[in-house]
Amino acid sequence: MSARGFLLVCWAALAGLSLGTVWLGGWARSGAPGWPLAPLILLLAVAKAWLIVDGFMELRHGPRLWRGLLLGWAVLLALLLGLLLLG
């Protein structure tokens, strides 16, 4: 796959994940229980961060340290927000 095609696939995946986040948020506002939805929304956020880091920033070919730091930061924030929502 060409670089342009790969970026297009990343963009489409980001758009789909964003629509999924909006859909889950709307579902939560309609009265659905928030406990199972919050972790799903956080998981979608981490997936979007992964696509941005590996796809658009092209760190899948870059230094492992930078990739690990950026992906680790997204996971850490999701875990902290999840703990905050539970508490």
Residue in the block written with tokens 């961060």 = 49
* Each residue's pLDDT expressed in tens, for the chain with a length of 87 residues: 888 899 999 999 999 999 999 999 888 778 777 678 888 999 999 999 999 999 999 998 889 999 999 999 999 999 999 899 887
Q: Which residues have CB under 8 Å from 60's CB, separation 6+?
A: 54, 67
How far is C-alpha 79 from the geometric centre of its chain's CA atoms?
A: 13
Query: By CB neighbour count within 10 A (0-12 exposed, 13-18 middle, 19+ buried), where does 42 fall?
Result: buried
Q: State pTM to two decimals.
A: 0.85
pLDDT computed for residue 27 by the predictor: 83
CA angle 37, 74, 48 (to 5 degrees): 65
